[in-house]
Amino acid sequence: MPPITTSVFELFKIGPGPSSSHTIGPMAAAGAFAREAAGLPADLLTRSTGLSVRLFGSLSATGLGHGTDRAVLAGLSGYEPETCPPALLSEMDLGPGAAFPVRLGPVTLSVRPADVVFDALEHGYGHPNTLVFRLLAGEEVLLEKVAFSVGGGFIQWQDAPPEVEASPPYPYESMAELRAQLAASGLKLHELLLANEKCLTQRGSIEIEAGLDRIMAVMAEAVDRGLNAEGTLPGPIGLRRKAKVLSDRARRSPTVQAAADRLLVLLDAYALAAAEENAAGHTIVTAPTSGSAGVVPSVLAVMQRHLKIEPQALRAALLAGAAVGFLAKHNASISGAEVGCQGEIGVASAMAAAMLAYAHGFDLTVTENAAEIALEHHLGMTCDPVAGYVQIPCIERNAMGAVKAYNAFLLATVEDPGRHVMDLDRVIWAMAQTGRDMCPKYRETAQGGLALRPPEC
């Protein structure tokens, strides 16, 4: 396998909830398709009469609850995940008569919600999250592109020629290779990642640090918005937000007396806050996905607001967490449709555990052990969102992932690190195998588990 060439800014993407693979990825793919179509010869474009987008597999099974149709329409209309208004998708009107203009060079086509079709669950394309885009002239197909939304907002195009990737100065594709690079170079983990990031993004240190600060600021904004929001989340479940209740009670309730309990309840509240904002379709950061967008921000909030960890240590910790996400994405998957929730909440928890250890100044071994413990205890976790909405079990699962991250950090820092038996490469391998063996109905299709026992509304 080639070395890891994912940038931290690809792993931590800013965009609308509720799903990186079902919302951000499809939105980005739709935008890319529209741009490619706009580059066709003018005589071809003037013959075009419409566009169609067909969603297959998991995108068909849970795309409605994940806002995939809205994301595709927004992407075709020229919106981009990072810069679209925070409430664009949640406020989009898909009622009768709704139509969205798509500008393609000399022509402007009108696309209706019915042009985005939830197609077959079973299909012959190469990935569970498949989109087929077509530019049409009546029945004639002028341009067809097949995209796979592979998790975390990443898109792969079918039959795309292999990209010529930049070669990072410290290549690695496993934790063992990363350890060897660190030993040979004498660099600290965040220094090595920064050196690779400069090469991959062609940005300087100051620009990269500013980008890391922006990621953390958007995460903090999602937490704060969620802590101040009340009411019911979109969709048929009628789920009420509860981050604010937890936060208020942690601060005032006589039943939350002990300082340790208070910190735990606040960690829960921060995780619920960002996850509820994600479920509302508002702006979040994939970490590594949207469904798991509450874990890393909640741990960061505790480090910033309660443990008073300095900004420079937080930037370094974010890079350490990214390394865990890179390894999981490269050697297994961060897509619930491929490996279940272990690849989303499990990986997020491992990233957060590594961040806690690294921000506290622990060495590489402890940092790796923290990540390993957190991921190990998410192995086998299925993805079974009720009604196809990223709400139950997803929102509380973010709080559970955050608490497990904290406990993994404690376990890793209190034990004798040299005697830790399992390593990160082994647990990532086990996650990939477990995901491969997992019955498809537990991989983001809403056809098994809790999804079959929806509450009566």
Secondary element (H or E) of residue 437: helix 424-437
Taking CB under 6 A as the criterion, which residues in 393-432 touch ligand SF4?
393-394, 397
Please check whether residue 73 is in contact with residue 60, taking contact to mean a CB–CB distance below 8 angstroms: no
Interface segment toward ligand SF4; rule CB under 6 A; list 123-131, 188-196, 254-262, 391-399: 391-399
Query: Does 332 contact ligand SF4 by CB under 6 A?
Result: no
Report how far residue 190's alpha carbon sits from residue 180's, in angstroms, rounded to the nearest whole number. 15
Q: β-pairing, 50-57 with 129-137?
A: antiparallel
Query: Does 370 contact ligand SF4 by CB under 6 A?
Result: no
State the distance between the two ends of the chain, measured CA to CA, in whole angstroms. 49
Query: CB-wise, 317 or 337, nearer to ligand SF4?
Result: 337
Query: Does 390 contact ligand SF4 by CB under 6 A?
Result: yes
Query: Does 219 contact ligand SF4 by CB under 6 A?
Result: no
Please check whether residue 147 is in contact with residue 133, taking contact to mean a CB–CB distance below 8 angstroms: yes
Owner of token pair 């989303």: 344
Question: Coil, helix or strand for 304?
Answer: helix
Taking CB under 6 A as the criterion, which residues in 273-302 touch ligand SF4?
291-292
Query: CB-wise, 211 or 321, nearer to ligand SF4?
Result: 321
Query: CB-wise, 148 or 358, nearer to ligand SF4?
Result: 148
Query: CB-wise, 178 or 271, nearer to ligand SF4?
Result: 271
Query: CB-wise, 353 or 366, nearer to ligand SF4?
Result: 353
Give the single-character DSSP code of 60. H
Can you give the length of the chain in residues? 457
Query: CB-wise, 136 or 431, nearer to ligand SF4?
Result: 431
Query: Does 90 contact ligand SF4 by CB under 6 A?
Result: no
Interface segment toward ligand SF4; rule CB under 6 A; list 184-192, 361-369, 385-393, 433-441: 385-393
What is the token pair recorded at 147? 């995209």
**β-strand partners of 107:** 104
Nearest to 141 by CA among 29, 40, 43, 52: 52
User: Could you tell me how many residues of this chain bind ligand SF4 (CB under 6 A)?
Assistant: 13
Report how far residue 417's alpha carbon sits from residue 365's, in angstroms, rounded to the nearest whole number. 7
Query: Does 244 contact ligand SF4 by CB under 6 A?
Result: no
Report how far residue 180's alpha carbon sits from residue 171's, in angstroms, rounded to the nearest whole number. 10
Question: Coil, helix or strand for 287?
Answer: coil
Taking CB under 6 A as the criterion, which residues in 91-130 touch ligand SF4?
none
Query: Does 272 contact ligand SF4 by CB under 6 A?
Result: no
| β strands within 219-365, DSSP E | 283-285
Q: How far is the CB of 172 from ligand SF4 (least distance, A)?
A: 27
Query: CB-wise, 109 or 223, nearer to ligand SF4?
Result: 223
Q: How far is the CB of 279 from ligand SF4 (least distance, A)?
A: 10
Interface residues toward ligand SF4, by CB under 6 A: 291-292, 336, 341, 344-345, 383, 385, 390, 393-394, 397, 444
